[in-house]
Amino acid sequence: MTESSTHDHAAKPLRGIVPPLVTPLADRETLDPAGLERLVEHVLAGGVGGLFLLGTTGEGPSLSFALREEVVRRAARQVAGRVPIVVGVTDTSMAESLRLAEMAAEAEALAVVLAPPPYFPVRQDDLRRYVERMAEESPLPLVLYNMPSHSKLAFEPETVRALVDIPRIVALKDSSGDLGYFRRVGEIAAQRDDFSLLMGPEELLAEAVALGADGGVCGGANLRPRLYVDLLRAASRAVGRSESRAENRQVGELHAEVLRTAESLYRYDEGSAGVIKGLKCALSILGICRDVVAEPLQPLEPRQREEIRGKLRELGLSPVAPDPDRARRAENVALPAH
Protein backbone atom coordinates (compact mmCIF):
# COMPACT_ATOMS: atom_id res chain seq x y z
CA MET A 1 0.00 0.00 0.00
CA THR A 2 2.03 2.92 -1.29
CA GLU A 3 1.10 6.49 -2.05
CA SER A 4 1.36 5.73 -5.74
CA SER A 5 -1.25 2.97 -5.42
CA THR A 6 -3.92 4.93 -3.60
CA HIS A 7 -6.40 4.30 -6.41
CA ASP A 8 -6.14 0.55 -5.72
CA HIS A 9 -7.78 1.17 -2.35
CA ALA A 10 -10.43 3.66 -3.38
CA ALA A 11 -13.22 1.09 -3.10
CA LYS A 12 -12.19 -0.25 0.30
CA PRO A 13 -14.67 0.66 3.05
CA LEU A 14 -12.12 0.92 5.87
CA ARG A 15 -8.59 2.26 5.62
CA GLY A 16 -6.10 3.88 7.95
CA ILE A 17 -6.07 3.81 11.73
CA VAL A 18 -9.49 2.93 13.18
CA PRO A 19 -9.20 3.19 16.98
CA PRO A 20 -11.29 0.77 19.03
CA LEU A 21 -12.68 3.64 21.05
CA VAL A 22 -12.49 3.49 24.83
CA THR A 23 -15.93 3.93 26.45
CA PRO A 24 -15.70 6.75 29.04
CA LEU A 25 -17.80 5.85 32.08
CA ALA A 26 -18.97 7.77 35.16
CA ASP A 27 -20.09 4.58 36.93
CA ARG A 28 -21.34 1.09 36.16
CA GLU A 29 -24.37 2.20 34.17
CA THR A 30 -23.63 5.83 33.36
CA LEU A 31 -21.74 7.21 30.40
CA ASP A 32 -19.31 10.10 30.85
CA PRO A 33 -20.65 12.29 28.01
CA ALA A 34 -18.08 15.07 28.39
CA GLY A 35 -15.30 12.48 28.40
CA LEU A 36 -16.69 10.84 25.27
CA GLU A 37 -16.85 14.20 23.53
CA ARG A 38 -13.25 15.06 24.44
CA LEU A 39 -12.02 11.61 23.43
CA VAL A 40 -13.73 11.65 20.04
CA GLU A 41 -12.30 15.07 19.19
CA HIS A 42 -8.87 13.99 20.45
CA VAL A 43 -8.66 10.97 18.14
CA LEU A 44 -10.18 12.77 15.16
CA ALA A 45 -7.59 15.52 15.54
CA GLY A 46 -4.94 12.81 15.16
CA GLY A 47 -6.05 12.02 11.60
CA VAL A 48 -7.65 8.61 12.14
CA GLY A 49 -9.57 6.93 9.32
CA GLY A 50 -12.60 5.79 11.33
CA LEU A 51 -13.89 4.76 14.76
CA PHE A 52 -14.74 1.31 16.07
CA LEU A 53 -17.34 1.55 18.85
CA LEU A 54 -18.11 -1.21 21.39
CA GLY A 55 -15.07 -3.31 20.61
CA THR A 56 -12.88 -5.11 23.13
CA THR A 57 -11.05 -1.93 24.17
CA GLY A 58 -14.46 -0.24 24.34
CA GLU A 59 -15.62 -2.95 26.79
CA GLY A 60 -18.69 -3.53 24.63
CA PRO A 61 -19.55 -7.01 25.98
CA SER A 62 -19.54 -5.68 29.57
CA LEU A 63 -21.99 -2.83 28.92
CA SER A 64 -25.78 -2.95 29.18
CA PHE A 65 -27.70 -2.70 25.94
CA ALA A 66 -29.06 0.70 26.96
CA LEU A 67 -25.54 2.00 27.54
CA ARG A 68 -24.29 0.54 24.26
CA GLU A 69 -27.05 2.35 22.39
CA GLU A 70 -26.24 5.62 24.14
CA VAL A 71 -22.56 5.33 23.22
CA VAL A 72 -23.36 4.75 19.55
CA ARG A 73 -25.97 7.49 19.26
CA ARG A 74 -23.88 10.13 21.02
CA ALA A 75 -20.65 9.29 19.19
CA ALA A 76 -22.35 9.14 15.78
CA ARG A 77 -24.07 12.48 16.36
CA GLN A 78 -20.78 14.08 17.32
CA VAL A 79 -18.74 12.57 14.48
CA ALA A 80 -21.43 13.72 12.04
CA GLY A 81 -19.97 11.82 9.10
CA ARG A 82 -16.40 13.11 9.42
CA VAL A 83 -15.10 9.53 9.43
CA PRO A 84 -16.81 6.13 9.06
CA ILE A 85 -18.08 4.43 12.22
CA VAL A 86 -18.32 0.68 12.76
CA VAL A 87 -20.10 -0.87 15.73
CA GLY A 88 -19.45 -4.11 17.59
CA VAL A 89 -22.58 -6.28 17.79
CA THR A 90 -21.19 -9.62 19.00
CA ASP A 91 -23.51 -11.32 21.48
CA THR A 92 -24.46 -14.81 22.54
CA SER A 93 -27.93 -14.08 21.13
CA MET A 94 -28.25 -13.61 17.38
CA ALA A 95 -31.47 -11.66 17.94
CA GLU A 96 -29.64 -9.16 20.15
CA SER A 97 -26.82 -8.85 17.62
CA LEU A 98 -29.40 -8.01 14.97
CA ARG A 99 -31.11 -5.53 17.28
CA LEU A 100 -27.78 -3.78 17.85
CA ALA A 101 -27.22 -3.78 14.09
CA GLU A 102 -30.61 -2.06 13.60
CA MET A 103 -29.62 0.59 16.13
CA ALA A 104 -26.25 1.07 14.40
CA ALA A 105 -28.02 1.51 11.08
CA GLU A 106 -30.29 4.16 12.60
CA ALA A 107 -27.14 5.98 13.74
CA GLU A 108 -25.83 5.80 10.15
CA ALA A 109 -22.85 3.58 10.92
CA LEU A 110 -20.93 2.15 7.97
CA ALA A 111 -20.92 -1.47 9.13
CA VAL A 112 -21.18 -3.75 12.15
CA VAL A 113 -18.34 -5.85 13.56
CA LEU A 114 -19.05 -9.49 14.35
CA ALA A 115 -16.85 -11.96 16.21
CA PRO A 116 -17.80 -15.63 16.63
CA PRO A 117 -20.39 -15.81 19.45
CA PRO A 118 -18.69 -16.91 22.67
CA TYR A 119 -19.66 -19.70 25.12
CA PHE A 120 -20.80 -22.70 23.04
CA PRO A 121 -18.27 -24.67 20.95
CA VAL A 122 -19.20 -24.19 17.30
CA ARG A 123 -18.03 -26.09 14.24
CA GLN A 124 -16.68 -24.05 11.34
CA ASP A 125 -19.56 -25.01 9.03
CA ASP A 126 -22.07 -23.84 11.66
CA LEU A 127 -20.10 -20.63 12.11
CA ARG A 128 -20.15 -20.04 8.36
CA ARG A 129 -23.93 -20.52 8.18
CA TYR A 130 -24.42 -18.23 11.18
CA VAL A 131 -22.42 -15.44 9.52
CA GLU A 132 -24.26 -15.98 6.22
CA ARG A 133 -27.59 -15.48 8.02
CA MET A 134 -26.27 -12.41 9.80
CA ALA A 135 -25.17 -10.97 6.45
CA GLU A 136 -28.63 -11.61 5.02
CA GLU A 137 -30.58 -10.12 7.94
CA SER A 138 -28.34 -7.29 9.13
CA PRO A 139 -29.27 -3.87 7.78
CA LEU A 140 -25.54 -3.06 7.56
CA PRO A 141 -22.55 -4.84 6.01
CA LEU A 142 -20.40 -7.04 8.24
CA VAL A 143 -16.79 -6.77 9.36
CA LEU A 144 -15.48 -10.13 10.58
CA TYR A 145 -13.59 -9.91 13.87
CA ASN A 146 -11.08 -12.72 14.44
CA MET A 147 -10.42 -12.68 18.21
CA PRO A 148 -9.82 -16.30 19.29
CA SER A 149 -8.32 -15.34 22.68
CA HIS A 150 -11.74 -13.95 23.70
CA SER A 151 -14.32 -15.75 21.55
CA LYS A 152 -12.47 -19.11 21.89
CA LEU A 153 -13.19 -19.65 18.22
CA ALA A 154 -11.37 -18.43 15.13
CA PHE A 155 -12.50 -17.74 11.59
CA GLU A 156 -10.39 -20.44 9.97
CA PRO A 157 -8.89 -19.49 6.56
CA GLU A 158 -11.21 -21.83 4.66
CA THR A 159 -14.21 -20.26 6.39
CA VAL A 160 -12.93 -16.81 5.41
CA ARG A 161 -12.49 -18.10 1.85
CA ALA A 162 -16.17 -19.05 1.73
CA LEU A 163 -17.40 -15.85 3.39
CA VAL A 164 -15.33 -13.45 1.30
CA ASP A 165 -17.54 -14.30 -1.67
CA ILE A 166 -20.48 -12.61 0.08
CA PRO A 167 -20.57 -8.95 -1.04
CA ARG A 168 -22.10 -7.72 2.23
CA ILE A 169 -19.08 -8.98 4.18
CA VAL A 170 -16.66 -6.12 3.59
CA ALA A 171 -13.67 -6.48 5.91
CA LEU A 172 -11.80 -8.60 8.43
CA LYS A 173 -10.04 -7.42 11.56
CA ASP A 174 -7.50 -9.95 12.84
CA SER A 175 -6.50 -9.83 16.50
CA SER A 176 -5.02 -13.32 16.67
CA GLY A 177 -1.44 -12.02 16.77
CA ASP A 178 -0.51 -14.75 14.27
CA LEU A 179 1.25 -13.28 11.23
CA GLY A 180 1.06 -16.62 9.43
CA TYR A 181 -2.72 -16.52 9.71
CA PHE A 182 -2.76 -12.87 8.65
CA ARG A 183 -0.74 -13.71 5.54
CA ARG A 184 -3.13 -16.53 4.58
CA VAL A 185 -6.31 -14.48 5.01
CA GLY A 186 -4.61 -11.58 3.23
CA GLU A 187 -4.11 -13.77 0.17
CA ILE A 188 -7.81 -14.67 0.32
CA ALA A 189 -8.94 -11.06 0.83
CA ALA A 190 -6.90 -9.99 -2.19
CA GLN A 191 -9.53 -11.64 -4.39
CA ARG A 192 -11.72 -8.59 -3.82
CA ASP A 193 -10.75 -4.98 -4.49
CA ASP A 194 -13.46 -3.76 -2.10
CA PHE A 195 -12.47 -5.87 0.95
CA SER A 196 -10.53 -4.27 3.82
CA LEU A 197 -7.96 -6.17 5.90
CA LEU A 198 -7.11 -4.68 9.30
CA MET A 199 -4.53 -5.59 11.93
CA GLY A 200 -5.47 -5.55 15.60
CA PRO A 201 -2.27 -5.87 17.71
CA GLU A 202 -0.42 -2.59 17.32
CA GLU A 203 3.00 -4.15 17.77
CA LEU A 204 2.42 -5.99 14.45
CA LEU A 205 1.12 -3.01 12.47
CA ALA A 206 4.25 -2.32 10.43
CA GLU A 207 4.71 -5.98 9.51
CA ALA A 208 1.02 -6.27 8.65
CA VAL A 209 1.27 -3.43 6.12
CA ALA A 210 3.96 -5.37 4.28
CA LEU A 211 1.49 -8.29 4.13
CA GLY A 212 -1.26 -6.16 2.61
CA ALA A 213 -3.04 -4.59 5.59
CA ASP A 214 -5.20 -1.58 4.75
CA GLY A 215 -5.02 -0.25 8.29
CA GLY A 216 -4.93 -0.99 11.97
CA VAL A 217 -7.39 -1.13 14.86
CA CYS A 218 -4.92 -0.04 17.51
CA GLY A 219 -5.95 0.57 21.13
CA GLY A 220 -3.06 2.94 21.72
CA ALA A 221 -4.53 5.31 19.12
CA ASN A 222 -7.01 6.39 21.80
CA LEU A 223 -4.07 8.05 23.52
CA ARG A 224 -1.61 8.85 20.72
CA PRO A 225 -3.57 8.78 17.45
CA ARG A 226 -1.00 10.73 15.44
CA LEU A 227 1.76 8.26 16.32
CA TYR A 228 -0.17 5.34 14.83
CA VAL A 229 -1.29 7.34 11.80
CA ASP A 230 2.33 8.31 11.14
CA LEU A 231 3.54 4.72 11.55
CA LEU A 232 0.94 3.41 9.10
CA ARG A 233 1.85 6.05 6.53
CA ALA A 234 5.58 5.45 6.91
CA ALA A 235 5.15 1.68 6.64
CA SER A 236 2.95 2.12 3.56
CA ARG A 237 5.56 4.29 1.86
CA ALA A 238 8.28 1.76 2.66
CA VAL A 239 6.47 -1.15 1.00
CA GLY A 240 8.38 -2.06 -2.14
CA ARG A 241 11.12 0.48 -1.37
CA SER A 242 13.48 -1.61 0.72
CA GLU A 243 16.42 0.33 -0.69
CA SER A 244 15.25 3.49 1.08
CA ARG A 245 17.14 3.51 4.36
CA ALA A 246 15.58 6.76 5.49
CA GLU A 247 12.04 5.41 5.15
CA ASN A 248 12.93 2.13 6.87
CA ARG A 249 14.64 4.04 9.65
CA GLN A 250 11.52 6.15 10.16
CA VAL A 251 9.36 3.03 10.37
CA GLY A 252 11.76 1.57 12.93
CA GLU A 253 11.71 4.69 15.08
CA LEU A 254 7.92 5.00 15.05
CA HIS A 255 7.51 1.28 15.73
CA ALA A 256 9.85 1.58 18.70
CA GLU A 257 7.75 4.44 20.08
CA VAL A 258 4.60 2.31 19.75
CA LEU A 259 6.30 -0.50 21.70
CA ARG A 260 7.48 2.00 24.31
CA THR A 261 3.93 3.26 24.78
CA ALA A 262 2.60 -0.28 25.20
CA GLU A 263 5.32 -1.22 27.68
CA SER A 264 4.60 1.91 29.70
CA LEU A 265 0.84 1.43 29.97
CA TYR A 266 -0.33 -2.14 29.37
CA ARG A 267 1.77 -4.16 31.81
CA TYR A 268 -0.48 -3.79 34.87
CA ASP A 269 -2.75 -6.71 33.94
CA GLU A 270 -3.03 -9.52 31.42
CA GLY A 271 -4.06 -9.08 27.78
CA SER A 272 -6.88 -6.71 26.96
CA ALA A 273 -7.54 -6.01 30.65
CA GLY A 274 -4.10 -4.39 30.87
CA VAL A 275 -4.76 -2.35 27.72
CA ILE A 276 -8.13 -1.08 28.98
CA LYS A 277 -6.92 -0.25 32.50
CA GLY A 278 -3.73 1.41 31.29
CA LEU A 279 -5.42 3.48 28.59
CA LYS A 280 -8.24 4.68 30.83
CA CYS A 281 -5.78 5.61 33.56
CA ALA A 282 -3.58 7.52 31.11
CA LEU A 283 -6.56 9.28 29.51
CA SER A 284 -7.82 10.37 32.93
CA ILE A 285 -4.42 11.76 33.91
CA LEU A 286 -4.41 13.75 30.68
CA GLY A 287 -7.86 15.11 31.52
CA ILE A 288 -9.70 13.45 28.64
CA CYS A 289 -12.01 11.03 30.48
CA ARG A 290 -12.35 9.21 33.78
CA ASP A 291 -10.61 5.95 34.65
CA VAL A 292 -13.82 4.05 35.53
CA VAL A 293 -13.76 0.58 33.97
CA ALA A 294 -16.70 -1.77 33.42
CA GLU A 295 -17.00 -4.55 35.95
CA PRO A 296 -15.64 -7.12 36.53
CA LEU A 297 -12.50 -5.04 35.81
CA GLN A 298 -11.29 -2.63 38.46
CA PRO A 299 -9.24 0.57 37.97
CA LEU A 300 -5.54 0.65 38.71
CA GLU A 301 -4.33 1.28 42.24
CA PRO A 302 -3.02 4.76 43.25
CA ARG A 303 0.58 3.52 43.18
CA GLN A 304 0.19 2.21 39.63
CA ARG A 305 -1.53 5.43 38.63
CA GLU A 306 1.44 7.48 39.79
CA GLU A 307 3.78 5.19 37.86
CA ILE A 308 1.77 5.84 34.70
CA ARG A 309 1.83 9.57 35.41
CA GLY A 310 5.61 9.38 35.36
CA LYS A 311 5.61 7.27 32.18
CA LEU A 312 3.43 9.84 30.43
CA ARG A 313 5.96 12.54 31.28
CA GLU A 314 8.71 10.36 29.80
CA LEU A 315 6.61 9.95 26.65
CA GLY A 316 6.28 13.72 26.42
CA LEU A 317 2.54 13.72 27.13
CA SER A 318 1.06 16.39 29.36
CA PRO A 319 -2.50 17.02 30.58
CA VAL A 320 -4.85 18.83 28.23
CA ALA A 321 -7.30 19.50 31.08
CA PRO A 322 -7.52 18.96 34.87
CA ASP A 323 -7.40 15.31 35.94
CA PRO A 324 -11.10 14.40 36.45
CA ASP A 325 -10.28 11.43 38.67
CA ARG A 326 -7.98 13.33 41.00
CA ALA A 327 -10.85 15.70 41.88
CA ARG A 328 -13.30 12.82 42.27
CA ARG A 329 -10.98 10.95 44.63
CA ALA A 330 -10.42 14.07 46.70
CA GLU A 331 -14.18 14.44 47.15
CA ASN A 332 -14.44 10.83 48.36
CA VAL A 333 -11.72 11.04 51.02
CA ALA A 334 -13.36 10.43 54.39
CA LEU A 335 -13.18 13.35 56.80
CA PRO A 336 -11.47 12.64 60.14
CA ALA A 337 -13.82 12.10 63.09
CA HIS A 338 -14.03 14.88 65.69
CB 220 within 8 A of CB 279: yes
Q: Which of 12, 173, 277, 311 is catalytic?
A: 173
CB atoms within 10 A of CB 36: 22
3-state secondary structure 290-308: CCCCCCCCCCCCHHHHHHH
DSSP character at residue 334? P
Q: Which of 145, 181, 228, 266 is catalytic?
A: 145
145 among known catalytic residues: yes
- Edge-to-edge strand list for the sheet holding 16-17: 16-17, 215-216, 196-199, 169-174, 142-146, 111-114, 85-88, 51-53
CB 34 within 8 A of CB 320: no
CB 225 within 8 A of CB 47: yes
What kind and span of H or E run contains 197?
strand 196-199
Q: Is 96 exposed, middle or buried (0-12, 13-18, 19+ CB in 10 A)?
A: middle
Q: Encode burial over 276-305: b for 16+ CB neighbours within 10 A, e otherwise.
A: bbbbbbbbbbbbbbbbbbbeeeebbeeebb
CA–CA distance, 39 with 109 (Å, rounded to integer): 18
What kind and span of H or E run contains 216?
strand 215-216
Closest alpha carbon to 297 in 269, 332, 316, 331? 269
CB atoms within 10 A of CB 188: 19
280 among known catalytic residues: no
The CA R_g of the chain, rounded to the nearest whole Å, is: 20
Residues involved in catalysis:
145, 173
